[in-house]
A and B are shown apart, each in its own frame.
Chain A
C-alpha cells in the first residue's frame, strides 16, 4: 500500500494563480520525484530530487526535498490551463526498488 500522504486531494484554481502541494511520510526516502499524469496516459516525470534540502526548478515548477527526508513539496507558479492533471509525489529508497506513490492531487485550472 501507499505510505505517502499527499495533500490536497484536489484543487480548483483560477488561471494565473500559484499552486502548492505536498507529500509527507513516516519513513525516510533517498529520492523524491514528482510526476504529472493526464487521463489515459502514464505518469510523466516533472522533477527529481536526490539530496535532503535540495530545491530544484523546472520552468514554472519548483520542488524541494525536505531536510528530514520525510517530505517534499511542489509549487506551480502562474498556472495555465494545460497544467490540468493529476500530480503524484513518489519516494524511493536505495535498499529496495519499489517506488511508493502518493494518492495524487487533482488540479483543475479555470481560464
Chain B
C-alpha cells in the first residue's frame, strides 16, 4: 500500500502526558499537512511542510503543539502536557505541490487520541 500512513491509529493517555504521532506521506509528495478533527466537524488545518521546511504554523492550537519533518519525508506531531480538550482525531495529508498550481491532498487514516 503506497498511501499515507499514520501511527499509532489509537492512543489513550492521561492528562499531562506527552504524546507523539508519526505520519509517512506518499513517497513522491513534497508537502505534508496536519489536521485535527473533532466529532461532527470537518478537519481543521494545523500546520504544513514543504519538504523539511515548516511553512505555516500559526494555526497550531497552542505552544504545546509542535511538528517536525527533519528529512523531508516522515513527520511527527507532538502534544505536550495533554489536556482533555486535545481528544480528537489527528489527520495527516500529503500532496505534490507547485506554487500557484492547484493540488490534491491525500489523507491518512488518522490517529484517534483520547485524553483521560
Contacts and interface: CB of A to CB of B under 8 A. Distances in A.
Contact of B103 (A2, A6, A31): A31
B44 A101 contact: yes
B48 A97 contact: yes
- Looking at chain B's contact residues, the main secondary structure is loop
Contacts of A107: none
Given A40-B112, A42-B91, A43-B91, A98 B59 contact: yes
A50 to B, nearest CB: 4
Interface stretch (A12-20, A72-80, A86-94): A86-94
Interface of A: 1-2, 4, 6, 30-31, 33, 35, 40-45, 48, 50, 88, 90, 92, 94, 96-104
For the complex of A and B, the 9 pairs showing the least CB-CB separation, nearest first, are A101-B42, A98-B45, A42-B107, A31-B102, A50-B102, A42-B110, A48-B104, A43-B107, A42-B109
Given A42-B107, A42-B109, A88 B42 contact: yes
A33 B41 CA distance: 16
A56 to B, nearest CB: 12
Given A40-B112, A42-B108, A92-B102, A97 B33 contact: yes
B97 A97 contact: yes
A35 B103 contact: no
B44 A44 contact: no
8 contacts: A35-B107, A40-B112, A42-B93, A42-B109, A45-B106, A97-B48, A98-B48, A100-B45
Nearest to A106: B40
Contacts of A45: 104-107
Nearest to B108: A42
